[in-house]
Each structure stands twice: as C-alpha cells, then as structure tokens.
Amino acid sequence: MNIRLAERKDINQLIQMRWDFTLEDYQTKIFDESDFEAFKLECHDFLVKALDSETWFIWVAEENSKIVSHIYIELIQKVPRPGRITNPFAFMTNVYTVEGFRNKGIGSKLITTINEWVERKKYEFIIVWPSDDSIDYYKRNGYKHCKEPMEFFSS
C-alpha cells in the first residue's frame, strides 16, 4: 500500500471515485449517467486548480497503481492575532474508500499519515463534519466529537 499526495496523473481516477462516492452516498439521486460528462468537466477543472494550489492537498492510498482511498484537505487561513503565530487549520472532506478495500485499515493508515503531516506542518487543527456512520471511525483515529457548527443557507 502506497500513501502519497495525488498528482495530475490521478485526475481521472479521482473523478470516477467522486462520481461513485456520490452514487453510493445519495439514495435519492437528482442526476443520472447522462450528467457524467458535465460533471467530469467541472470536476477536472476543480482538480487541476486544487493540485496546482497551495491550499488543497489530496491524499491517496494506492495498490498496484489503483487509488483505493482518498482524503481531501483544504487549508483555511486564519486572521492573524497579536501575541501568537497564526497557523492555518485543515478542513477534511471527501473521505472515501472503494468498497472492496474497506475495513482493512487503509483509511486509518491514510488518516494517520495526514494527522502526522498536520503535526509536522504545525497546522492548528483538523475539522471534519462526519456522517453519523463515520463518527466511530474518526474517534478510533484520535478525533473528538464536538458540538455542531451553526449554518446559514441563502435562499
């Protein structure tokens, strides 16, 4: 198992995984196969920009050149505060492992690598909004469940 940061050569696999993740995650689908090409273009554009940025980091676990798990991290810059060094925090999203590779410790190895990377880089913390089904996974990997954030949805 190889754990590394994603590269441009991974874009097509990442696009397919995002599509598959969404199909699996949403029981009531508001899209179908005919939407794939438009999604592919939008996702490709996002991934090119993300991989070229200094704010997005896409971590992958691969086996035999096939990506089997990934976690996306976006760095969020904080407003400086007097009397302290202001480091960004990390927003974790799009955590996914291909079905045949689940419950084998791959996701935990990936998240451990990310936790160690965050500590080395001295980022302040990682925040993730887990699904109800994934809360135990995060707890097993050192995360603490906190109160829900507040949200505003524009109409």
Distance CA 60, CA 95 (A): 10
77 beta partners: none
Residue 115 amino acid letter = N
DSSP type of residue 122: T
Complete edge-to-edge strand list for the sheet that includes strand 126-127 = 2-5, 56-63, 66-76, 89-97, 126-127
CATH of domain 2-140: 3.40.630.30
DSSP type of residue 10: G
- Confidence at residue 46, expressed as pLDDT on a 0 to 100 scale: 98
- Confidence at residue 27, expressed as pLDDT on a 0 to 100 scale: 67
Lowest-pLDDT choice from 82-86, 87-91, 105-109: 82-86
Sorted by sequence, the CB contacts under 8 Å of residue 31 that are 6+ apart come out as 39
Higher pLDDT, residue 148 or 77: 77
- Confidence at residue 78, expressed as pLDDT on a 0 to 100 scale: 92
Q: How high does pLDDT run on average in the chain?
A: 92
CA dist 108 → 17, 112, 153 (Å): 18, 6, 33
Pairing of the two strands 89-97 and 126-127: parallel
pTM for the full predicted model: 0.91
**Is the pLDDT at 148 greater than 80, yes or no?**
no
Domain extent listing, the chain: 2-140
